[in-house]
Amino acid sequence: MPPKRKSSDSGSSAKKSKGPAKSPEVDMETERALNKRWAPVSTEVTENESEDEEDEEFIEQKKKDDAEADDATTLEPASEHPGEKWIFTNAGVAKWIALKQCTAVRDPDNFEMHVYNDFFGYAVMELVENLLLDFDEAAGDWKMQWAICEATGLYFQMSAIMSMVGCEDGDTVNAICTTFATMFPTMLATLERNDLFKSDSEVKNLGAVIGLFIRFIVDVEEYGINWDDHDAKIAAYATKHDITVHGLNHKRYEKSSREEFDLPEATADSNDPWGWQKALATLKEIHDENLGGDSKDITSWTSAERKKASFNNKDPIPRSAMTHIKNGDIMELGG
């Protein structure tokens, strides 16, 4: 493990943890059912990023994409806005928010800590592995699987995902990315089997979510990910079913929208036309059957473990705050 990074002075930009703020939505009398892969912690994060630090082209593209959405329709029922492009289910948004919360408690900068180089990247990797496992366990429930895909597509637009993409273990990063590239066509094949590409489908945001996955695939190609033309395969579903894909109004996405691909029958290979089970099994083998978990959730560590990585050798989370967290309160991070 690399030596601990020295603490910066009082002018440091590292985010500090604030005291817990009680969540009005938590019923403290009710025992919470917790997924074995997700630590019992919830957070809120206040981000303060400057556009000066972002790529100018990305900023301009984001402005164009944002212009497609009508702010006045935010959080209103989709049924009241049949022409809206950016629609997401409550379940998908809730999953995405949970991902953002779980990301915050895995970032050492939020606690003025240094664990080792690329720790945050591997922490994000742990989260996305959880998503793969969630998707697999939801087999037979297409609505739950679609919510997971919605959350994944949204999460892949966040800057945190680039910490994973940039990890030094390129082989593992490539394996995880290509497994996701298999997961989404598998989802689309499931929708096709259930006749959910029809004009009056229950799925109202096919074009938006397809666009999010294609954007991610194209945006990280330069990092050496072997996508095997999965962006074209995903786009082929939209072409086949006359789905308008959103968010691709930039020249770097033109290749995906132009290419054609012959899609397999949705029922091929025992309803696994894209080899999802094989892809997941291969990834598990790479990880010695140890995918996901919450080992990199800093709030799940012991006080001694946090002290060891802290800049000042003190636990960045007071004991009283940990008590509140375990009881379901919210820890606010940021400033």
Using one digit for the tens of pLDDT, what is the confidence trace for 203-216? 989 999 999 999 99
pLDDT of residue 30: 28
pLDDT of residue 225: 86
Best CA proximity match to 23, nearest among 329, 331, 334, 333: 329
Residues of the chain with pLDDT under 70: 1-84, 255-260, 328-335
Mean pLDDT computed over every residue of the chain: 78
Domain count, the chain: 1
Query: What is the side-by-side order of every strand in the sheet holding 17-21?
Result: 17-21, 330-334, 42-46
Residue 31 resides in a domain: no
Residue 26 resides in a domain: no
Spatial distance between the Cα atoms of 57 and 26, rounded to a whole number of angstroms: 41
pLDDT of residue 229: 85
Helices in the chain by DSSP H: which ranges? 56-68, 90-104, 119-137, 142-155, 161-165, 170-193, 206-219, 230-240, 254-258, 268-271, 276-286, 303-309, 319-326
pLDDT of residue 290: 86
Q: What percent of the chain has pLDDT over 90?
A: 50
- The parent domain of residue 298 ranges over 90-327
- The count of C-alpha atoms lying within 13 angstroms of the C-alpha of 154, restricted to the half-sphere facing its C-beta, is 21
Residue 335 resides in a domain: no
pLDDT of residue 259: 59
Residue 47 resides in a domain: no
Residue 36 resides in a domain: no
pTM value > 0.85 = no
